[in-house]
Amino acid sequence: MEIDNVQTSENGKGVSGDTVRADGREIVVTGKLLKIAGFKDEWYEGTDRPDLLIEMLRKTRMKADLITFMQRPPETSPKFGYYMEWDNLAAISLKDMDHWWKKQIPKQTRNHVRRAQKSGIILKVAEFDDELVKGISEIYNESPIRQGRHFWHYKKDLESIRKTHSTFLGTCDFIGAYLNGQLIGFVKLVYVGETARTMQIISMFAHRDKAPTNALIAKAVEICCEKRVKLLVYGKYDYGKGSGKSLAVFKKENGFEKILFPRYYIPISLKGKVSLKLKLHKGFREMLPERLILFLIDVRKKWYMRKYGQA
């Protein structure tokens, strides 16, 4: 199965909110009725001292009802006494490239990777320079719609793209997929300890028949094995109600498995305590029937396609 475009957000949360810096780290508070605070880039700036997170939040004087933080894999046994729920991610436990190729992916996926090679796609680590930024811009501007919604990077200026991708430059790789010298897809890998995470992975619609996204994952696995990375993470495995099955199937066919890890919630206001008890902290969407969510997603997709003349 080939997915033409899949991505994760730069901040790891997929949402925006009030952000401040405390002790050199960014804390973001999201939500309107219920304000939830946590590290903006929690995967890369996790904590083993939640008491320090609480103290940092107090220093900022930002108003919040709940604090949340994750216990970063590969350590998945709960080790804190706070209220927790199981969260999930999609990850490949890596041994070596040969093991992934022969044992962790099916024949169909191997054929996709071979198809990319036969199509002339070249995969290589790219320097973060003007040429890469321009290539990323061309990919972003291919379509205003991605995954059935408005694509937030569409028509961004080059300086904004440069700023977006200038994070973690000392601990990341940009892997590019090139066809006849043109960048047609890329993945940004950020390394933390013995793990690597895809901060973004995206390919052009025009070349989906050549399976560039599968090829990018294969190259990412190869590089991670060379660096002796033990866990390659690609966002969540299950995004909740209405998320659909295609992305989960794509991840499974490329060797990603569902891994559970603890996510902790600490109420710091009466509203936070009540919301946590009533399970309101996951948002309004999780309270709706999945059939209704899927219907609304389909309506949104059709509206955007009509708006941009792609219906």
pLDDT per residue as tens, the chain (311 positions): 444 444 333 433 334 467 776 666 778 888 888 999 888 888 877 667 777 777 777 777 778 899 899 988 888 899 999 999 999 999 999 999 999 999 999 999 999 999 999 999 999 999 999 999 999 999 999 999 888 888 999 999 999 999 999 999 999 999 999 999 999 999 999 999 899 999 999 999 999 999 999 999 999 999 999 999 999 999 998 877 666 677 889 999 999 999 999 999 999 899 999 999 998 898 877 777 878 877 877 788 788 778 777 65
Q: Which domains does the chain have, with CATH numbers?
A: 18-88+261-307 (no CATH), 90-258 (3.40.630.30)
pLDDT of res. 5: 42
CB 213 within 8 A of CB 201: yes
Query: DSSP character for 72?
Result: -
CB 62 within 8 A of CB 255: no
CB 69 within 8 A of CB 213: no
pLDDT of res. 24: 65
pLDDT of res. 216: 98
Q: What pTM does this model have?
A: 0.85
What tokens appear for 115 in the block? 């198809």
Instruction: Concatenate the DSSP letters of all residues of 84-120 into one string.
Output: EEEEEEEEEE-S-HHHIIIIIS-HHHHHHHHHHHHTT
Beta bridge partners of 178: 122, 183
How big is the CA angle at 176 (ends 251 and 252), to the nearest 5 degrees? 5
CB 83 within 8 A of CB 265: yes
pLDDT of res. 15: 42
Beta bridge partners of 186: 176, 202
pLDDT of res. 287: 75
Number of neighbouring beta carbons within 10 Å of residue 262:
20
